[in-house]
């Protein structure tokens, strides 16, 4: 717990943290509100059930939430590459000799930050969406919306943690950010043009996430999508811990 | 108490630290001398668990550093004072460090005054001179009121007043019965500060003796140091 408290203190005493969080919340919230407006406007004169309406709002909101993943992923890389660049990681390690504990503490703080960001976007987005769609009498949170909420939230947490892992492995902010963008955004597009791309894409984080927030037809069971996505949060972190321990 | 036994570390080719053994005992200032590249910093990093040795052991109060509970309460270290993120204020830097070992932040203000930073403690570290960063590094080393102090070139960049202040501080820490290992390549400074000397060259132990035994009457520490080095190379 001491290590987590220390990492939280470190994070909140750097202006770059607040810039990343601010950009993540305000840009994504703006786009979420605009997106919700567009989606709800399409429903004019369409008859749909209260559950369908609630689902439509939640999906629109979580498409907005995952837009925050790049600033958050960069925050993830910065929390470790900033220490590599300055050399301050040595000071951190004299206070907390276990690099695994340091990485887990950073991961805990980043998980908290990305959960907070997702709620700061989703809650106002949802309330606004319900306000716009009041004529359709949306139900509150029917069972079908929870996989969307869980999937969108997991995606944003995973991208943030992946930023941390890549930063720990590559030790350079620019390289880690480039790798993050490649894995999350570029490779899924490239893979679509390659012979084994369909298979590869099921193993990259983007497709499972898009499936879970209902932005593409399902290509695997939801449980598999959650597992692939979750693995992108956990496995690179474990590799980073092993590599850092050896050095 | 610091005990180094058969410590060896290689970075690729020739060993940076080569079968090094010595003991640093409490109650006196032990100077750690060596030419540039002799392996002083690597040895200190090995003691702090920041590098893994190829063979041998280094212990602090009987345990390898990585196995110490709340290490800042047992060992205070100052390696590279410039290895610090510039975006935080000095007091914030000390606060997170204190938090990492469950220490009260109450000492932070007093320590900033003690090292002569005072009001500058509320400023961002990025604007600090090397001397100010050394003072902050000293405050960080003292944060947990440790029994053992490991200081790598702590007077680099300090003004004469800062050098004298550091010397007096180290003397009072040793007088309180603490173990103080301080590296330097400044002979004159070591001659007036240290009680005991450990001299290394190319990662090997060249001398481990009281200052009085190393320096001939009328000679300087510089002569004695170069003497030891020359003999080792002959």
Q: With an 8 Å Cβ cutoff, are B83 and A97 in contact?
A: no
Edge-to-edge strand list for the sheet holding B75-78: B75-78, B148-152, B179-184, B29-33, B196-201, B204-210
Kindly identify which residue of chain B lies nearest to residue A16, measuring between CA atoms. B87
pLDDT at site B234:
67
pLDDT at site B229:
80
> How far away is chain B from the Cα of A73, in angstroms, using its nearest Cα?
20
The answer to whether residues B58 and B65 touch, using CB atoms and an 8 Å cutoff, is yes
Instruction: Determine the Cα–Cα distance for residues A236 and A206; give it in Å rounded to an integer.
Output: 16
Instruction: Determine the Cα–Cα distance for residues B6 and B143; give it in Å rounded to an integer.
Output: 31
Instruction: Determine the Cα–Cα distance for residues B193 and B31; give it in Å rounded to an integer.
Output: 8
> Which one-letter DSSP state was computed for residue B155?
T
- Token couple for A219: 């290509």
Kindly identify which residue of chain B lies nearest to residue A13, measuring between CA atoms. B88
> Nearest Cα to B104, choosing from B143, B148, B70?
B143
Q: With an 8 Å Cβ cutoff, are A82 and B72 in contact?
A: no
Instruction: Determine the Cα–Cα distance for residues A10 and B93; give it in Å rounded to an integer.
Output: 8
Complex-level ipTM: 0.94
The answer to whether residues B178 and B172 touch, using CB atoms and an 8 Å cutoff, is no
Indicate if the pLDDT at residue B186 is higher than 90: no
Mean pLDDT in chain B? Answer: 93
Instruction: Report the pLDDT averaged over residues B25-50.
Output: 95
Candidates B88, B99, B123, partner chain A, best to mutate (most A CBs within 10 A): B99
The answer to whether residues A86 and A10 touch, using CB atoms and an 8 Å cutoff, is no
User: Which residues of chain A have a CB within 8 Å of the CB of B87?
Assistant: 13-16
Model confidence pLDDT, tens digit, residues A76-122: 999 999 999 999 999 999 999 999 999 999 999 999 999 999 999 99
> How far away is chain A from the Cα of B73, in angstroms, using its nearest Cα?
9
> Nearest Cα to A20, choosing from A72, A62, A59?
A72
Q: With an 8 Å Cβ cutoff, are A13 and B77 in contact?
A: no
- Token couple for B25: 């005992």
| Residue A43 CB burial class (10 angstroms; 0-12, 13-18, ≥19) | middle
For residue B220, what are the β-bridge partners? Answer: none
pLDDT at site B216:
74
Domain boundaries, chain A: 2-246
Q: With an 8 Å Cβ cutoff, are B96 and A6 in contact?
A: yes
Helix (H, G, I), strand (E, B) or coil at A37: helix
Kindly identify which residue of chain A lies nearest to residue B66, measuring between CA atoms. A97
- Token couple for B69: 């509970």
- Which position has the higher pLDDT, B142 or B230? B142
Q: Which helix or strand (DSSP H or E) is residue B2 part of? A: strand B2-10
Which of B85, B95, B100 minimises the CB distance to A96?
A: B100
Among positive and negative, which fits the CA dihedral A244, B2, B8, B10? positive
Beta pairing class for B204-210 and B196-201: antiparallel
Task: Give the up-direction half-sphere exposure of residue B171: CA atoms within 13 A in the CB hemisphere.
Answer: 12
Would you list which residues of chain B are within 8 Å, Cβ to Cβ, of chain A?
45, 48-50, 65-68, 70-72, 75, 77, 79-80, 82-89, 92, 95-97, 99-102, 140
Instruction: Determine the Cα–Cα distance for residues A228 and A160; give it in Å rounded to an integer.
Output: 16
Residues of chain A with pLDDT under 50: none
Instruction: Determine the Cα–Cα distance for residues B88 and B122; give it in Å rounded to an integer.
Output: 9
Q: C-alpha B144: how far from its chain's center?
A: 16
Instruction: Determine the Cα–Cα distance for residues A41 and A129; give it in Å rounded to an integer.
Output: 10
Q: C-alpha B170: how far from its chain's center?
A: 11
Candidates A4, A88, A94, partner chain B, best to mutate (most B CBs within 10 A): A94
- Token couple for B118: 């005072």
Instruction: Report the pLDDT averaged over residues B25-30.
Output: 97
> How far away is chain A from the Cα of B187, in angstroms, using its nearest Cα?
28
pLDDT at site B148:
98
Model confidence pLDDT, tens digit, residues B105-163: 999 999 999 999 999 999 999 999 999 999 999 999 999 999 999 999 999 889 999 99
Angle (nearest 5°) at CA A211 between A219 and A111: 130
The answer to whether residues A137 and A53 touch, using CB atoms and an 8 Å cutoff, is yes
Q: With an 8 Å Cβ cutoff, are B140 and A86 in contact?
A: no
> How far away is chain B from the Cα of A247, in angstroms, using its nearest Cα?
7
> How far away is chain B from the Cα of A55, in angstroms, using its nearest Cα?
43
The answer to whether residues A43 and A78 touch, using CB atoms and an 8 Å cutoff, is no
Kindly identify which residue of chain A lies nearest to residue B47, measuring between CA atoms. A94
Helix pair angle (B90-100, B130-142), 10° resolution:
30
Would you list which residues of chain A are within 8 Å, Cβ to Cβ, of chain B?
2-3, 5-7, 9-10, 13-16, 82-83, 86-88, 90-98
Global pTM reads 0.94
pLDDT at site A226:
97
Model confidence pLDDT, tens digit, residues B197-220: 999 999 999 999 998 888 777 778
For tokens 């930063």, the residue is A167
Q: With an 8 Å Cβ cutoff, are A88 and B83 in contact?
A: yes
Q: With an 8 Å Cβ cutoff, are A2 and B102 in contact?
A: yes
All residues at 6 or more sequence positions from B158 whose CB lies less than 8 Å from its CB, including other chains: B131, B134, B135, B165, B166
User: Which residues of chain B have a CB within 8 Å of the CB of A242?
Assistant: none
């Amino acid at each position: 717990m001491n290590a987590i408290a220390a990492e939280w203190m470190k994070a909140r005493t750097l202006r770059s943290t607040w810039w990343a969080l601010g950009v993540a919340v305000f840009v994504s919230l703006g786009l979420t509100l605009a997106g919700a407006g567009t989606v709800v406007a399409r429903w004019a004169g369409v008859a749909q059930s209260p559950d369908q309406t609630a689902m439509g709002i939640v999906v629109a909101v979580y498409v907005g939430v995952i837009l925050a993943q790049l600033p958050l992923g960069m925050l993830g890389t910065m929390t470790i590459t900033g220490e590599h660049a300055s050399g301050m990681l040595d000071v951190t390690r004299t206070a907390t000799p276990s690099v695994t504990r340091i990485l887990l503490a950073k991961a805990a703080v980043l998980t908290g930050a990305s959960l907070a960001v997702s709620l700061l976007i989703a809650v106002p987005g949802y309330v606004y969406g319900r306000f716009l769609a009041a004529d359709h009498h949306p139900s509150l949170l029917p069972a079908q919306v929870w996989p969307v909420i869980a999937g969108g939230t997991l995606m944003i947490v995973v991208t943030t943690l992946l930023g941390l892992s890549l930063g720990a492995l590559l030790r350079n902010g620019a390289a880690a950010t480039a790798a993050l963008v490649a894995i999350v955004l570029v490779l899924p597009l490239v893979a679509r043009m390659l012979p084994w791309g369909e298979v590869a894409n099921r193993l990259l984080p983007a497709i499972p996430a898009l499936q879970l927030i209902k932005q593409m037809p399902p290509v695997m069971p939801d449980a598999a999508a959650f597992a692939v996505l979750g693995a992108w949060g956990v496995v690179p972190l474990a590799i980073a811990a092993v590599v850092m321990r050896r050095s | 108490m610091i005990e180094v036994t058969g410590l060896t570390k290689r970075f690729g080719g020739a060993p940076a630290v080569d079968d090094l053994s010595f003991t640093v005992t409490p109650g006196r200032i032990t100077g750690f001398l060596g030419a540039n590249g002799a392996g002083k910093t690597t040895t200190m990093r090995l003691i702090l668990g920041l590098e893994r040795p190829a063979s041998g052991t280094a212990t602090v109060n009987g345990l390898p550093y990585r196995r110490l509970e709340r290490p800042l309460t047992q060992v205070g270290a100052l390696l590279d004072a410039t290895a610090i993120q510039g975006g935080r204020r000095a007091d914030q830097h000390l606060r997170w460090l204190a938090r990492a070992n469950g220490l009260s932040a109450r000492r932070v203000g007093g320590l900033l005054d003690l090292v002569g930073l005072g009001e500058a403690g509320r400023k961002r570290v990025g604007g600090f001179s090397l001397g100010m960063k050394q003072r902050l590094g000293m405050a960080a080393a003292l944060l947990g009121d440790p029994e053992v102090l490991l200081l790598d070139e702590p007077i680099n960049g300090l003004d004469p007043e800062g050098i004298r202040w550091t010397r007096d501080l180290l003397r009072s820490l040793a007088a309180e019965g603490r173990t103080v290992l301080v590296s330097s390549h400044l002979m004159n400074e070591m001659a007036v500060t240290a009680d005991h000397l450990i001299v290394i060259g190319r990662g090997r132990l060249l001398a481990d003796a009281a200052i009085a035994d190393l320096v001939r009457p009328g000679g300087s520490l510089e002569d004695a140091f170069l003497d030891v080095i020359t003999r080792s190379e002959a």
